[in-house]
A and B are shown apart, each in its own frame.
Chain A
Amino acid sequence: MSENDNKYEMIFCIINAGFSEAVMDAAREAGARGGTVMRARGTAGKEAEEHFKITVHPDKEVVMILVPKDIKDAVLSAVYNSAGMSTAGQGIAFSLPVNKTVGLQ
């Protein structure tokens, strides 16, 4: 069992397809070591798009990055600046607390 319990957070970043490299480059600069990319599909409806005046690209990628808690804010900030809603990546990012980890060594 890991001795790193409660010392990590999992950052999820949902972005338009093709922007995962931009996210990972920014995350690495902020101290992250690596990540995992999954393909996904956005489901925002037409009404929501009109209300928020955005266009939802249905092809998405989900980037999962496991980071130590102390650099979580820096990584989130870097991801937001490089692929946030105001960029072509139109990404959203959030983090979840991680209880236990194995396989990091």
Chain B
Amino acid sequence: MKKKDKQQTVAVSEKTQRSTPAQGSSAPIKLELLITIVDKNKAEFYIDLIQSYDVNFQFSEPARGTAKAEILDYLGLADTDKTVIFSVVRSDRLDELMYVLDMKFRTIKNGKGVSVSVPFSSMIGTSVYTFLCNAAEPVWGSNAK
């Protein structure tokens, strides 16, 4: 009887551990808005690349650069058509993603771009959060503040 009670206690304890934050953490993993500005004809490539880093929500907007005509002529560039990609990224995947983006910006022909991350200060809705995190349940992390 006592052994059974102990087994039940262990089972409950394991269940509790799964549904509560890991040791040393106090909040879910944060999300950041990644703003990536690239040439229009490379947008699809970068959207697919970013999507592979647990990114479930992105939208892109056509845009144009503000370089003056004389500078474009000097550099031999034809146009200033750009695409701005807005992506919601988990902060624990951000460093890796930005490292890869940096490599791609440097190595792909006509693939130069700029990427910046802006932190979310708040959001509402557990289901929305788990969707944006690409997780089955809220993600608790040791780097959360």
Binding site for B on A (CB under 8 A): 1-2, 8, 10, 20-21, 24, 34-39, 63-64, 66, 96-104
- Give chain B nearest CB distance to A48 CB in angstroms: 25
Q: Known contacts A38-B84, A64-B84, A97-B118: does B64 contact A103 (CB below 8 Å)?
A: no
Q: How far is the CA of A35 from the CA of B116 in the complex (A)?
A: 13
A63-B105 Cα distance, complex, nearest whole Å: 22
| 26 sampled A-B residue pairs with Cβ under 8 A | A1-B98, A1-B99, A2-B98, A2-B102, A24-B66, A36-B63, A38-B61, A38-B62, A39-B62, A39-B63, A64-B84, A66-B116, A97-B118, A97-B119, A98-B116, A99-B117, A99-B118, A100-B116, A100-B117, A101-B114, A101-B115, A101-B116, A102-B99, A102-B114, A102-B115, A103-B113
Which of A66, A97, A103 is most buried by chain B, counting CB atoms within 10 A of its CB? Answer: A103
User: B101: CB under 8 A from chain A?
Assistant: yes
How many residues of chain B are within 8 Å of chain A by beta carbon?
27
Is B118 a contact of A64 with CB atoms below 8 Å?
no
Contact with A along B76-116 (1 / 0, CB 8 A): 00000010100000000011001101100100000011111
Kindly identify which residue among B35, B115, B117 contacts A64, using a CB–CB cutoff of 8 Å. B35
CB distance from A86 to the nearest CB of B (A): 23
Q: Among residues 10 to 69 in chain B, which have CB atoms less than 8 Å away from a CB atom of chain A?
A: 32, 35, 37, 61-67
A96 to B37 CA separation, bound complex (whole angstroms)? 16
Q: Which residues on the A side are within 8 Å of B63 (C-beta)?
A: 36-39
